[in-house]
Structure 1
Amino acid sequence: MEDSGEGEERRSNWAELTNVCLIDIFSRLTPENRWNSAMSVCKSWLEACKDPTLNTVVNLEPRFESTEDSPGLWTPEFERRVDAMLRSIVEWSDGSLKEIRVRHCSDFSLSFAAERCTGLEILSIMSSARVTDECMSRVAFNCPKLTELDVSYCHEISHESLALIGKSCPNLKTLRRNLMNWLDPSQYTEIVPLDYLNACPQDGDSEAAAIGKYMPNLKHLEIRFSKITVNGINFICQGCPSLEYLDVSGCANVTGGDIDIAVENLKNLEVIKKVNYYIPRMAVHLERYGHWSLYDARFQMDNFRI
């Protein structure tokens, strides 16, 4: 059995570690491990975890990706937790935050981040139901170094925000503006609030026009399940000649032929994901899609999942 004096010595050695040593050790931990473990040990460890060099990135995506979506994630209570975490990291970063990847945040925390972290380069706020155009205008004016933006499933953000971001952030290379599958919304029932689900942005062509006009340097674009038409596809392909990756899967208002024609002049295009949605299984849809052979040009038959 270990001598009590030796145990005390070991504990005191840990307690006497310098702040520089603690920061070096904690830099090897994931943010989640720092939050859930190291920060709760003692005051000196808590202060070390707050060092700006450990808070240049906030990435909660791995946690969200490993967690099944549930109604609890769409509640005001969960949103307040995300907001509190983001605001804390912004304060600790002392303005050095470069990357934010969260979900379910609101204007409350994102405006705070935009005003204090003007060197922000990556912003991903998927499924943030209460982030609005007003907040995104602050992001546009305060964070001109943005190179990557993900505003998927953010229904309160409109084409006006996309235009402002494009005007203010000339180095933007990646945009993700995916929408929920409105062709078969049954997968979201009892998870996403119905009023929010019904508020899905309708004017895909206005968003496409903003992208094509103000984001000429885009290389990666995702607009899954957008209600874009052939006019919108043409706006994008004419205004974004450097595109290398284009995902328009689920865009039911355009055909594969429309897309093939539009992308002809995109010389750098390496990957294109076209319309590949499936027939809903619900019986209510059977009559509508009963004569599926009439729709060869619009539906990619080889990708149907019956």
Structure 2
Amino acid sequence: MKADKAHNATKASTSKSKPRKGKKSKFVPKSKQIWQVKKPTANWLELPTDITANILQRIGVFDILKNAEKVCTTWRQICKDPSMWKVISMDTPECTNGRLICELICKIVVDRSQGQLVDLSITDFCTDELLRYISDRASQLKRLEVVYSLGELYGEWGDYLKKFPLLEELSLETTVIGLQDIEAVGRYCPLLKTLKLNQKLYKWPNIYDDEEHVQVLNETAIAIAKHLPNLRHLQLIGDGMSNIGLQAILDGCTHLESLDIRQCLYIDRKKDDIGKRCSERIKDVKLPNDDMEGYMHLVDNDYDDYVESNVSSESMLFFGDSDGDYYGRRYYDSDGYEYDDYTRCDAFDEDGDFSDVEDMNDMMAFFSMFK
């Protein structure tokens, strides 16, 4: 029996048998695993102090005081560091008491600089009292820019500039400066290389028919030529000078590398080839009718057209209070109608106080948050 089983087993193994057909199945290859490196979470507190300071400086004075320095102790220490306040740029915000708030905050950041302030730009809130405060605390100042301060500082610059012996650039836009002020610049700021005195020009018809007007409108250019012979860069956008003043500058400021006299519309650049002489003497020259890119706010064609057709030069008067706070131009058109072009007087009442201060307690509460 065992022999039969063995024989059968051998027979089965040698017999041909059909292989089983397996079930068909689709082969789905495994997708390749994509390894992703987990990005590390940035820790702003681990940044080097100088890089953090550089970042914070870009957000502006108000955001630093109101927000950034309250984030953490580290940021507050950085914001308190005097080196953070070497460069200050401030513009008046559109809010009630904006000018007064800016003045108070400016004093705070000047104090924080502890004498290290080298570059200051202030727009629409510079006052005599503020500039005096700054001059007493910023003897290292190298650049000063003041925008829109008509009447506030006229004749007072000498008292401040004598405390800025390292000043290299003075930029004044729509800001009144007198002849004695220009003389003070030359006397007290021997390192000054750049001067910018820019304003919007109101061109009056036939104004150069009067010799007295000719002398007055060329006074600034002549004073610059006399007292600032070492200037390298001069910008006089909107100045009322004629060829007389321009010639004085060419003769007196022999080291000029750039001269910008855009909107100096009383200059006749064809007369005596003075335009050509400017280009030959000075490397970079912008002439009266050149494009006003970057300074379009100093051009008001509609206003100029109205003035030229309705107002005579003799009808313009300047008025102001004894402190220079209430200041502007008053005009009379051809029909005898009187109208005023105010500069800073909209911020003051007749007593020289802020006219829009309704609740001083609320204002001071707002200011206290910056301390």
TM-score where L is the length of structure 1 = 0.68
Instruction: State the match for 2:248 in structure 1.
Output: 235
The residue number in structure 2 matching 1:125 is 146
1:271 aligns with 2:271: no
Give the 3-state SS of the residue equivalent to 2:88 in structure 1. strand
Structure 1 residue aligned with 2:81: 51
Rounded to whole Å, the distance in 2 between the matches of 1:132 and 1:286 is 29
Q: Structure 2 residue aligned with 1:244, among 210, 232, 257? A: 257
Residue 171 of structure 1 corresponds to: 191
Partner of 2:117: 97
Is the 8 Å Cα contact of residues 261 and 286 (structure 2) preserved in structure 1?
yes
Counterparts of 1:43 and 1:126, CA distance in 2: 35
Larger radius of gyration: 2
Q: Deviations over 1:123-160 (max 9, x none)?
A: 001112354145422222100111101112013x2122
1:226 alignment partner in structure 2: 239
Change (3 A) 1:130 1:35: farther
Change in Cα spacing, 1:47 to 1:279, as seen in structure 2 (3 Å) is closer
User: What residue is the counterpart of 1:7 in the other structure?
Assistant: none
Of the candidates 23, 26, 32, which is equivalent to residue 53 of structure 2? 26
Deviation, structure 1 residue 286: 9.3
Q: Secondary structure at the match of 1:58?
A: strand
Q: Return the alpha-carbon distance in structure 2 between the equivalents of residues 268 and 106 of structure 1.
A: 38
CA contact (8 A) 1:79 1:106 kept: no
Aligned pair in 2 of structure 1 residues 205, 44: CA closer, same or farther (>3 Å)?
Answer: same
Distance in 1 between the 2:161 and 2:65 partners? Answer: 30
Q: How far 1:263 sits from its partner (Å)? A: 6.9
RMSD of aligned alpha carbons? 3.5
1:39 counterpart = 2:69: yes
Q: CA deviation at 1:264?
A: 2.8
What secondary structure does 1:234 align onto? helix
Worse-superposed segment, 97-106 or 21-30: 21-30
Identity %: 25
1:39: how far off?
2.0
1:246 CA drift (Å)? 1.0
Matches within 5 A, 1:176-187: 176-183=196-203
Is the CA contact (8 Å cut-off) linking 2:110 and 2:134 kept in structure 1? yes
Structure 2 vs 1, CA of residues 235 and 23 (structure 1 numbering), >3 Å: closer, same or farther? Answer: same
Partner in structure 2 of residue 113 of structure 1: 134
Alignment partner, residue 142 of structure 1: 163
Query: Residue 249 and residue 49 in structure 1: after superposition, are their counterparts in 2 closer, same or farther (change >3 A)?
Result: same
Following superposition, the deviation at residue 178 of structure 1 comes to 0.9
Whether the aligned pair in 1 keeps the contact of 2:155 and 2:180 (CA below 8 Å) is: no
Task: Output aligned runs, 1:68-107, within 5 Å.
Answer: 77-104=97-124, 105-107=126-128
**What does the per-residue CA deviation read over 1:227-259, in whole Å, with 9 as the maximum and x for residues that have no partner?**
112221122111101111111121122211248
Partner AA of 2:167 in structure 1: L
Question: CA separation in 1, counterparts of 2:50 and 2:99?
Answer: 29
For normalisation by structure 2, the TM-score amounts to 0.57
Output the CA distance in 1 between the equivalents of 2:143 and 2:306: 42
207-216 or 134-143, larger mean C-alpha shift: 134-143
1:21–1:236 distance in 2 versus 1, CA, 3 Å: same
Partner deviation per Cα, 1:46-82 (whole Å, 9 max, x = no partner): 343121111111124xx78xx9xxxx59x8x322222
User: Where does residue 222 of structure 2 map in the other structure?
Assistant: 209
Paired residues for 1:271-290 under 5 Å: 271-276=284-289, 280=301
Match of 1:151, SS?
Answer: strand
Q: What is the CA distance between 1:266 and its match in structure 2?
A: 7.7
**Taking structure 1 as reference, are residues 215 and 39 closer, same or farther at Cα in structure 2, changes over 3 Å only?**
same
> Counterpart amino acid of 2:196?
R
Task: Kindly indicate which of the two structures has a greater share of residues assigned to strand.
Answer: 2
Alpha-carbon spacing, 1:129–1:41, altered in 2? closer, same or farther (3 Å): farther
1:160 matched residue in structure 2:
180
5+ residue gaps in structure 2? 1-40, 205-214, 291-298, 311-371
Instruction: Describe the shift of the 1:81–1:258 C-alpha distance in structure 2 as closer, same or farther (beyond 3 A).
Output: farther
